[in-house]
Amino acid sequence: MTTVGYGDYFPTQVGGYIGGAIVMVIGLMVTALPIAIIGSNFTVCYEYNLKLQKRKTATQKSSLLPLSYSVSKL
């Protein structure tokens, strides 16, 4: 993710190494930050859908109870 080309050209001085290291770190951060944001949004949506499914199944189970049982519980 941090290389370009086949290594035909590479830095030979200290400034080039420092510049290359900075560019590599920035490139990794640009890639890692959106992945973390998308992952956290996926987790939020997944948990929301789980809660929604639990509510639906609870509502379906309560609607299947006999009328006398549901009235006596009220």
**What would the two tokens of residue 15 be?**
């400034």
Handedness of CA 59, 60, 66, 69 (dihedral sign): negative
> How large is the C-alpha radius of gyration of the chain?
28
pLDDT of residue 18: 94
Give the pLDDT of the chain (74 residues) as one tens digit per residue.
Answer: 556 667 777 888 999 999 988 988 898 888 888 888 888 888 889 999 888 888 877 776 666 555 555 455 44
Helix (H) or strand (E) segment spanning residue 15: helix 14-63
Q: How far is CA 64 from CA 50, 52, 59, 67, 69, in A?
A: 21, 19, 9, 9, 10
- 67: which residues sit within 8 A by CB, 6+ positions away? none
Q: What is the pLDDT of residue 13?
A: 93
